[in-house]
Amino acid sequence: MAEEAQQAEAGDETAAAGGSKKKMIFIILGAVILVGGSIAGTLLIVGGGDDGAEAAVEEEVVVARDDPSYIDLKPAFTVNLAPEDPVGFLQISMQVLTFNDDVAEDLEKHKPLIRNNLLVLFGQQKSAELRAPEGKEQLQKSALKTVQTVINEHGSGGAVDNVFFTSFVMQ
């Protein structure tokens, strides 16, 4: 009878061990499903969706850029400043940078109009403002905007990337 009691206890322990293994498997399986579901949900929200949109983004990123072209706007710009200004004149040499061959051709083609508009811009400046680096930077931005406006209105409408003052003299 003692043997039967021992066998019964051993059977209960085996059944209890089998039940706890099943619980552990269900817990692990549930955790894997939760992690997989959260990953799938994240991918669906962040990266999933329209493949056409991804193709459009890739097309925008793969914009071919030509070699840089520096167009020299010779001769130097020389303008008289206002009579009340202590400085008599301003002389600026500049170059225009573009990575678009069509824009480079437009810059050469419309150079007289660009020079005219820049002369007007430079003639409106005040020497006190141009002495500070910020004043020169602001003038450079205004010159870029002036050149870009001419290209947009009379040229191909491509991008003028920057303008550089290669000489800047006030006397």
Q: Point out the residues of the chain with pLDDT beneath 70.
A: 1-18, 44, 47-64
Q: What pLDDT does 163 receive? A: 97
φ/ψ of 87, rounded to 5, equals -95, 135
**How far apart (Å, rounded) are the C-alpha atoms in residues 73 and 39?**
57
Residue 103: what pLDDT? 94
- Around Cβ 1, how many Cβ atoms within 10 Å? 5
| Cα angle for residues 121, 106, 69 (degrees, 5° grid) | 90
| 109 Cβ contact partners less than 8 Å away, ≥ 6 residues apart | 155
Query: Going by C-beta distance under 8 Å and a sequence separation of 6 or more, which residues neighbour residue 138?
Result: 129
pLDDT attached to residue 50: 54
45 vs 43: CA distance, rounded Å: 5
Name the residue among 152, 141, 65 with its Cα closest to residue 107.
152
Q: Where does the chain have alpha helices with state H?
A: 2-46, 51-61, 101-109, 111-123, 127-130, 133-154
Q: Which run of H or E residues covers position 95?
A: strand 89-98
User: CA of 114: how far to CAs of 47, 63, 98, 103, 108, in Å?
Assistant: 46, 27, 15, 13, 9
Q: Which two tokens stand for residue 99?
A: 């990575």
Cβ(159)–Cβ(99) below 8 Å: yes
